[in-house]
Amino acid sequence: MDTLSRAGLSGAAVNELREEILEGRLNQGERLSEVSLSTTLGVSRAPIREALLHLEQEGLVVSLPYKGASVVSLSPQDFLELSTLRIALEKLAWARAMERITPEAIADLNAIIGEMEFAVKSDLKAKLVRLDLDFHERVFIMADHSRLYTAWTAIKWQVALFLLARRKKVDDYHNIIVEEHAELIQAILNRHDPDFERLIELHIGSGYGRLNSAGAGSPAEHPAAEHPAAGSPAASVSSAPAAR
């Protein structure tokens, strides 16, 4: 469906493991032993190690030296991080995509919206998440910015986990997905819409609001600072340095 990324076995292991994580067959926080994975997937440890490194880069796996890897477990704090970073990346992506848009690209996006409408009618919830991701993926591709695309792939599958979690918790996804993405296409067409950045903040930030304070209306632009002092150890997901 997307990046076959690397060569042979390690790439196959990446796709297989990613699918199992997104599908939920591998639970969040579950330990990923290299030997058991190598026997399960029928390859040696070398490609498994490489695959785990790649998945760690995608944020689906966390690993510590001599302690091994586990499936990531995303906290509300992590979802907030994803939301804020994604807004920053998509603002740049849309700005560039607007400059590079072609009629065929517009048609492709509209085709995805068409599939969304069908998926909504047929009640294919999982498919909706795929289409949502696919829609934004195309925008990042249109932006024609290799490093921006790399940054997107570093959070893309975590965003997928976020969307899947949201779908389970609050069920208004199908009510808004078609309309919101249609609005985004409109923003592309009126090229110099000065409010498109606000539109993106709403599109992404509101999803965060809907997940956390289920039902609360205001999306909240920067939903309050969470204790800048007295840093809670909190076992953060990534290798971020402590903020003093």
Partner DNA sequence: AATCTGCAGACTGTCGACAATCTACTGAAT
Partner DNA sequence: ATTCAGTAGATTGTCGACAGTCTGCAGATT
Tell the smallest beta-carbon distance from residue 195 to its own copies (Å): 16
CB-CB contact of 187 with 196 (8 Å): yes
* CA torsion through residues 148, 130, 27, 44, sign: negative
Q: Enumerate residues 15-44 that contact DNA by CB under 7 A.
A: 31-36, 43-44
Q: Which does 99 bind (CB under 5 to 8 A by kind): its own copies, DNA, none?
A: its own copies
Site for its own copies contains 74 (CB under 8 A) = no
Q: Enumerate residues 73-112 that contact DNA by CB under 7 A.
A: none
Tell the smallest beta-carbon distance from residue 44 to DNA (Å): 3
Nearer to its own copies, 144 or 171 (CB): 144
- The phi and psi torsions of 24 (rounded to 5 degrees) equal 90, 0
Pick from 14, 37, 59, 61 the residue near its own copies by CB under 8 A. Answer: 59
Stretch that binds its own copies, among 16-24, 166-174, 177-185, 236-244 (CB under 8 A): 236-244
Tell the smallest beta-carbon distance from residue 45 to DNA (Å): 6
Site for DNA contains 236 (CB under 7 A) = no
* C-alpha 25: how far from chain center: 18
Pick from 24, 29, 68, 231 the residue near DNA by CB under 7 A. Answer: 68
Pick from 9, 105, 176, 185 the residue near its own copies by CB under 8 A. Answer: 105
92: tokens are 């740049």
CB-CB contact of 172 with 210 (8 Å): yes
- The phi and psi torsions of 32 (rounded to 5 degrees) equal -120, 90
Stretch that binds DNA, among 64-72, 91-99, 124-132, 203-211 (CB under 7 A): 64-72
Q: Rounded to whole angstroms, how far apart are CA atoms 58 and 151?
A: 9
Coil, strand or helix: which one is 29? Answer: coil
Q: How far from 136 is each of 45, 48, 91, CA to CA, in Å?
A: 34, 29, 12
For helices 146-169 and 8-23, what crossing angle results, to 10°? 30
* CA torsion through residues 116, 89, 171, 20, sign: positive
CB-CB contact of 243 with 231 (8 Å): yes
Q: Which does 239 bind (CB under 5 to 8 A by kind): its own copies, DNA, none?
A: its own copies
Tell the smallest beta-carbon distance from residue 54 to its own copies (Å): 8
CB-CB contact of 53 with 14 (8 Å): no
Q: Tokens 């790439």 belong to which residue? A: 11
List interacting residues with DNA (CB under 7 A).
Answer: 7-10, 31-36, 43-47, 49-50, 65-69
List interacting residues with its own copies (CB under 8 A).
Answer: 3, 5-7, 46, 49-50, 53, 57, 59, 65-66, 81-82, 84-85, 88-89, 91-92, 95-96, 99-100, 102, 104-105, 141-151, 154-155, 222, 225, 228-229, 231, 236-241, 243-244
